[in-house]
Amino acid sequence: MATGAAARTETLGSLKTAVVGVGAVGQLMIALLRERGVPADRLRVLARSARRVSLNGDTFSVAEVTPDAFDGLDFAFFAGGEDKDSHFGPIAVVRGAVVIDNGDAFRMEPAVPLVVPEINAADLARHKSLIASPNCSAIQLAMVLAPLTNLAPIRRVVCSTYQSVSGKGRAALERLDAEVRAVVTGEALPADSPFAEPILGNLACDWPVVEGGHTREEVKVVAETRKILGAPLLSIAINTTRVPVPNAHAQAVNIEFERPVSPDAARAALASFPGIQVTDIFPSPRLADGTDAVWVGRLRRDDSVAHGLWLWSACDNLRKGAALNAIQIAETLLARGLLPR
């Protein structure tokens, strides 16, 4: 790794970059990279099949993802993907790119840093050109817990999530829109749906159930939050729920500490933490939508336990929960001179 006087000092705009995937997260990655000065001619867009896409006035030729497509790249951002066996990330690393993967294929690999830059940027020092960006709900929960761990050891966390349909992909957003139109205009609904039953006016638990009756999402959020915080034994109970909100997740979080922590002390710790926005109004998904912060409010004492606090948070799951966090990882690598020579 290059460090010190020999460290590279390029900006994202001066490097050659690829985005793999052109769904909701991939398109947002492209938009955020363009905002950061990455020229269109230095941005390679890849997907499983070749086509053209238009985004914010730019037209991109989407090339088929192949091993050769990663030649000459500095960064490759993967918008998602769960199948480790067919993942092009390790191939991109061999071809010389630093891979930042938003999918969960490598998140729990011991040798792969799982990073939220505000919390555990130091873990990037051990990267081997493959870095994972966490699950959107794990990012949101870890961002809230990290500043509070400095006040007192945490004994137990209980979290209920209220996750927007955009977290299930573009098809889920289109289905919610179609259900709204059907109510307003009487338009017939398409037969195909990513949901088992209507999502409008409803709640869903639409993740596979795995060990012990927990959903796969619940297992992921617990494991990833522990890894991000470096707290493998942290006691976390979680229930995940899909709600008929287009974008931005919300969480109700109960935290039990080993010793007293006042709401005022918690508010001050959260307000001073990068990426957190504390508010006196209810931090709704609508407030968080389109913003970069994790919004926190309703801080109050929980008198049902010895040293408990309640809070509510909201976060744009496509921005800080996915595309933005991945790009912040790249920016942190550059700032710390942690790109390979």
Please choose, from the candidates 98, 92, 91, 107, the residue with its C-alpha nearest in 3D space to the C-alpha of residue 128.
98
Cβ–Cβ < 8 Å for 161, 283: no
Residue 126 belongs to some domain of the structure? yes
Residue 55 belongs to some domain of the structure? yes
Q: Do 329 and 286 share a structural domain?
A: no
Cβ–Cβ < 8 Å for 296, 309: no
pLDDT at 341: 66
Q: Do 264 and 226 share a structural domain?
A: yes
> What CA–CA distances, in Å, run from 188 to 55, 139, 246?
30, 38, 20
Q: Do 279 and 201 share a structural domain?
A: yes
Q: Do 191 and 83 share a structural domain?
A: no
Q: Do 212 and 124 share a structural domain?
A: no
Q: Do 121 and 225 share a structural domain?
A: no
pLDDT at 9: 58
For residue 10, the domain's CATH number is: 3.40.50.720
Q: 265, exposed or middle or buried, with CB in 10 Å at 0-12, 13-18, 19+?
A: middle
Q: Do 183 and 245 share a structural domain?
A: yes
Q: Do 148 and 104 share a structural domain?
A: no
Residue 168 belongs to some domain of the structure? yes
Q: Do 103 and 125 share a structural domain?
A: yes
Tally the domains of the chain.
2
Q: Which residues, in sequence order, are CB contacts of 294 under 8 Å at separation 6+?
A: 139, 140, 143, 144, 275, 276, 277, 288, 313, 314, 315, 320
Residue 101 belongs to some domain of the structure? yes
Domain, as residue range, for 205? 138-317
Catalytic one of 87, 159, 249, 315: 249
Residue 152 belongs to some domain of the structure? yes
Cβ–Cβ < 8 Å for 134, 116: yes
Catalytic one of 127, 136, 159, 214: 136
Residue 21 belongs to some domain of the structure? yes
For residue 285, the domain's CATH number is: 3.30.360.10
CA atoms of 80 and 38, how far apart (whole Å): 21
Residue 83 belongs to some domain of the structure? yes
Q: Do 277 and 156 share a structural domain?
A: yes
Question: Is 205 considered catalytic here?
Answer: no
Please choose, from the candidates 106, 54, 35, 46, the residue with its C-alpha nearest in 3D space to the C-alpha of residue 70.
46
Question: Is 315 considered catalytic here?
Answer: no
Residue 340 belongs to some domain of the structure? no
Q: Do 162 and 122 share a structural domain?
A: no
| pLDDT tens, the chain, 341 aa long | 333 334 455 789 889 999 999 999 999 999 999 999 999 889 999 998 888 888 777 788 899 999 999 999 999 999 987 778 889 999 999 999 999 999 999 999 999 999 999 999 999 999 999 999 999 999 999 999 999 999 999 999 999 999 999 999 999 999 999 999 999 999 899 889 999 999 999 999 999 999 899 999 999 999 999 999 999 999 999 999 999 999 999 999 999 999 999 999 999 999 999 999 999 999 999 999 999 999 999 999 999 999 999 999 999 999 999 999 999 999 999 999 999 86
Q: Do 150 and 111 share a structural domain?
A: no
